[in-house]
Copies of this chain bind each other. A is one copy, B any other.
Amino acid sequence: MSTVAKAVSLLEILGSGAPETALADLARRACFDKATTRRLLVSLIAHGLVEQDETTRLYRLGAGIARLALMREAQFPFLRIAAPVVEALAAATGETVHLSEYSKRGLITVHVVESAKANRVSVQLGDVLPMHATASGIAFLAFSEERIREAILAGPLPAFTPHTIGDAGTLAEHIAAARARGHSTGSQGYEEGVLSVAAPILGADGFAIGTIAVAAPRVRVHTGDIERHGAGVAVAARDISERLFGGLPGRKRA
């Protein structure tokens, strides 16, 4: 295991769970020696990616993380551009709308506007959505590079609910259907009782770079709602793509 892999693991562990973590706890969770863990943390602290409480000796993610994220956002203002569209769609539908961005590990939820209704779908910021079990994932795969799609179809398809698609053939059908329609639908594949509709946000090269999705409790979805939301996310996704890439002919982006 490479040293940077270990360092990143520590960051991920610090990010998940409690806001602050003790050294021994961290070492145990990461399965590293205490000494190793501490030395990695010292390096990370020197660069501001981790901070340590002076008195309690507890560790937490540092402001350097935020700095990197801000620099990235300055280079590629995905959130700044897409967030208003998400808000607008949330207002128009009255349901929870979430935005995600592709990453090696899955689709990362980068923005959420929850429905104002009491019975609503809640999505955690930073959550990683599985490709095969969510409307977002299927919408993404329908417009992704073939390499990514095949990797998912070839890999394991863990079940999150009894409704999760566990068969590569069925998944391929869903993907094909989503490609034909321009948006996907997800039915309780990740969480029970949740229906979702998602559309891909396309990059400059025509491949998906993220998705926008509407998620509603099953009991509230009536005839025509799926189609209405499907049209909504498709328009919103296209809108985001255009704002990101339409106005800047010089800039290329995968």
* Cβ-defined contact, A110 with B63, below 8 A: yes
A48-B103 in contact given A54-B254, A69-B69 (Cβ < 8 Å): yes
Which chain B positions have C-beta within 8 A of A12?
Answer: 47, 68
A61-B71 in contact given A7-B4, A8-B49 (Cβ < 8 Å): yes
Q: Is A192 an interface residue (CB 8 A)?
A: no
* Cβ-defined contact, A64 with B103, below 8 A: yes
Of the candidates B63, B75, B108, which one forms a contact with A60 in the assembled complex, judged by CB atoms under 8 Å apart?
A: B75
Q: How many residues of A are in contact with the other chain, CB < 8 A?
A: 61
A5-B55 in contact given A61-B75, A69-B69, A74-B125 (Cβ < 8 Å): no
**Using a CB-CB cutoff of 8 Å, which residues 122-156 of chain A contact chain B?**
124-126, 128, 145
State the oligomeric state as a number of copies. 2
A69-B60 in contact given A7-B7, A15-B75, A49-B8 (Cβ < 8 Å): no
Q: Which residue of B lies closest to A111 (CB)?
A: B70
Of the candidates B61, B70, B251, which one forms a contact with A68 in the assembled complex, judged by CB atoms under 8 Å apart?
A: B61
Instruction: Find the residue from A53, A68, A79 having the highest chain B CB count within 10 A.
Output: A68
Given contacts A8-B44, A15-B67, A61-B72, 12 further A-B contacts (CB under 8 A): A4-B4, A4-B44, A15-B71, A19-B251, A55-B205, A60-B76, A61-B71, A63-B103, A63-B110, A65-B68, A66-B73, A66-B108
Closest 9 CB pairs of A and B: A15-B71, A69-B69, A70-B126, A19-B75, A63-B103, A61-B72, A3-B3, A4-B43, A48-B103
